[in-house]
Chain A
């Protein structure tokens, strides 16, 4: 500030002279700028990590692949797109290329007679409970026309099984090399050159594959990445989340109500029992907060020892007469997950309840309502936005948590969709974990596709949380 020319007051024996001060000041400002850059870089690094994470996933979820095949898929089904083919097209392909194997398929999957009578019994005799063309009813399997054979397959055999058969037994499809989206777009020429130079053009093909495709959502587990889908895992995740919330929501909200509204109710503070209750309630509160900090894997061990092992008669459904499972069921996973998200729900619900003005309660009491009537009719509705937000936070956690599920579930391959709480299961994050752990690039690719599904699921959930909060808030104000 050169223009500042006031005479300095006397008596500054200790201060650095003006020139030294000015030099110092320049240095101080320089330091300020350097550090500010570091602070900004920190947040930029965080943002870049997020971007890198997303791009990295998207980069793997689509790209060029080099596939090997015995029969060109384009000859088998229209456009060579096995995924998109209808059941009729798939069945027709099987009958056309492997007419005898089609019969074996009928025998193994559908026939109700002993295998030595298969070729002599009529269709109506052995396919009683299945649908088949009228014209086929009195024929033996060998006499079926190709059209009849394919009709029986198309109507009764699952699409997954037919696709698997076509790819394994007819086309012999085998992914040889997988490229990322980045390479596929910006380095396509090199990939094409590599393909032309190194691969047999008769039996291999270079094609662009979206790993995240409709059939990825609708197909079940498979050891073949081209066929594998997440239907089973998705259904497992939905089951688990649903039961988890069903269990954790009432208990979590109940605990929050107890801690906020009833904890002071038990006994007089001056009596010994009253003092104990006060201490006890504070202990519960501290305990809930400590539980929130326990690693999820510990909950997994808890679930393994208690729900899977000790309570296996209950969690396997044996007490209801279900016999075909052990304790590693959806119910065990859900109960474990419920314990895991309880602290989240309790803490958020407590905050929501605490934020309700006491005037609302007093008004209700003043009208002669009982404590529970007041809570049920006044406090809970007013606290609902906060409670729901906490619950959805807990649900998000339940959807994404992996370690406890791996420990409780442990199954490596589940080919049957879960149909009850007592089914064994796989879940979306487990599936992602298992696919990521495989070294082949095509498994990484389907892991990426599954991650996108998982993130979209979380996004929808959180968006609905925001929406619900707004909705309740508006309803309260109206």
Chain B
């Protein structure tokens, strides 16, 4: 396992279930450090499910269950002695719909550091400024940090959520379709931000938008759906990792016909 230096995540034989229903089967994947890795695939292929397993967000769904190993820096995140709180400090997350807390901009960004025990107004002020700058939001909000985070536009809200995440200084940022609820200009801002952030963070992004994956990511994992007819006419569907390659190669020269058909837009 040479990945300890180069790879942030190592997924081995990961199966994820919701209740008795299988959502993802046998995912094996190495996610490189300080690169942007994109997860693409049709709806229901389990790409978000895999993403949420990377910082144990699936723990919040009582019926979710995982098999196999998700290794982060060589350590299985699902080992008994691992604390999900600690996991999420190191692996932050930005969600599909901007979800700022109904608090001021300042309190949104200071939320994480305060939890971690950072006290003192001067230090917090600096963290807030530093993080907002890091998310390209400082210039737009510096005048009224007391304003509610909900009063910002959608794109600003999403950048606030990113600022809030980097304030905790994680090592990885997971982004679950971070731009799907935004207009093209706001989307572009987020994409540019990602390219800067990747200098400091490992980024894993789920996206429904193949152009976006092509534009921003270094590696792309394509997930696909497998179906099986059960007795009684019920169709079971679950996701698998169909192809994983550097983004350039995956889009220019896909190894499987399924990938090719997907990126040509024949299904999705």
Residues on A facing B (Cβ under 8 Å): 1, 3-6, 8-9, 11-12, 14-16, 20-21, 24-25, 28-29
Contacts and interface: CB of A to CB of B under 8 A. Distances in A.
18 contacts: A1-B81, A1-B82, A1-B87, A5-B73, A5-B75, A6-B72, A8-B171, A11-B200, A12-B169, A14-B123, A15-B118, A16-B117, A21-B89, A25-B83, A25-B85, A28-B85, A29-B83, A29-B85
Contacts of A29: 83, 85
Interface in B70-103: 72-75, 79, 81-83, 85-87, 89-90
Interface size class of B (residues with CB under 8 A): 20 to 34
Contacts of B234: none
Q: Which 9 A-B pairs have the closest CB atoms?
A: A6-B73, A24-B117, A3-B75, A12-B169, A4-B75, A1-B86, A14-B127, A16-B117, A15-B169
Interface in B114-140: 115-118, 123, 126-127, 130
Interface of B: 4, 72-75, 79, 81-83, 85-87, 89-90, 113, 115-118, 123, 126-127, 130, 169, 171, 200-201
Contacts, number: 59
A15 B115 CA distance: 11
Main secondary structure of the interface of A (DSSP, over half): loop
A21 B73 CA distance: 19
B118 A9 contact: no
Given A1-B82, A25-B86, A14 B118 contact: yes
Contacts of A20: 117
B83 A1 contact: yes
A16 B118 contact: yes
Contacts of B116: 15-16, 21, 24
A3 B80 CA distance: 12
B208 to A, nearest CB: 29
Contacts of B117: 16, 20-21, 24
Contacts of B86: 1, 4, 25
Contacts of A25: 83, 85-86
A14 B200 contact: no
Contacts of B118: 14-16
B53 to A, nearest CB: 17
A32 to B, nearest CB: 9
A20 B119 CA distance: 13
B169 A4 contact: no
Contacts of A5: 73-75
Contact of A14 (B74, B81, B113, B201): B113
Contacts of A16: 116-118
A259 B210 CA distance: 52
A23 to B, nearest CB: 9
Nearest to B119: A16
A4 B90 contact: yes
Q: Which of A5, A9, A21, A29 is the most central at the interface, judged by chain B CB atoms within 10 Å of its CB?
A: A9
Given A5-B75, A6-B4, A8-B171, 19 more contacts: A1-B86, A3-B81, A4-B86, A4-B90, A6-B73, A6-B74, A6-B171, A9-B169, A9-B171, A11-B200, A12-B169, A14-B130, A15-B118, A15-B169, A16-B116, A20-B117, A21-B116, A24-B117, A25-B86
Contacts of A11: 169, 200
Given A14-B126, A24-B117, A4 B171 contact: no
A12 B90 CA distance: 12
Contacts of B169: 9, 11-12, 14-15
